[in-house]
Structure 1
Amino acid sequence: MDYTDPIKTRQDKLNQQYKNLVEQAYNFRQTDSALSDISEYKAIKLLNKLNKLKYLYRDPQKVTI
């Protein structure tokens, strides 16, 4: 069974959410620092998940032995 497609799909979705949270944190930085910190914290949590998925999903063409 090939599990790369669901992993890649999940990775793309989390990456988009991460970008949105980072942008949101940047936009809130001047107006509401608490909301900015919350968005930044959520972005960091998503980045940790992305790093775990990055470990699972390795492009077969790029892997050299």
Structure 2
Amino acid sequence: MNRIDDIKTKQSKLNTKYKLLVEQAYNFRQTDSALSDISEFKAIKLLNKLNRLKYLQRELFQSAN
């Protein structure tokens, strides 16, 4: 169960960072499109990591039961 808790903690941190990057991308959209694109790209990369962690968490939970 400790491993699942570690994954949840990591997900929480990444989710907070993801929301910040999406908000930055939205705010930069009108003033600096290049910075908006960079923030959006970083957010997409974080979303990919979050999806992998979600999959890993599901696999660990199923194997624990």
TM-score (norm 1): 0.86
List, as ranges, runs of 4+ consecutive aligned residues in structure 1 with deviation greater than 4 Å: none
Matches within 5 A, 1:10-49: 10-49=10-49
Deviation at 1:6, TM superposition (A): 0.6
Indicate the structure with greater helix content: 2
CA deviation string 1:4-60 (max 9, x = no partner) = 1110000000000000000000000000000000000000000000000000113x5
Unmatched segments (≥5 aa) in structure 1: none
Deviation at 1:2, TM superposition (A): 3.0
Distance 1:40 1:18 in 2: 9
TM-score (norm 2): 0.86
Report percent identity of matched pairs.
Answer: 77
What code does the residue aligned with 2:11 have? Answer: Q
Aligned pair count reads 61
Unmatched segments (≥5 aa) in structure 2: none
Distance 1:4 1:27 in 2: 34
Q: For the aligned residues, what is the CA RMSD?
A: 1.7
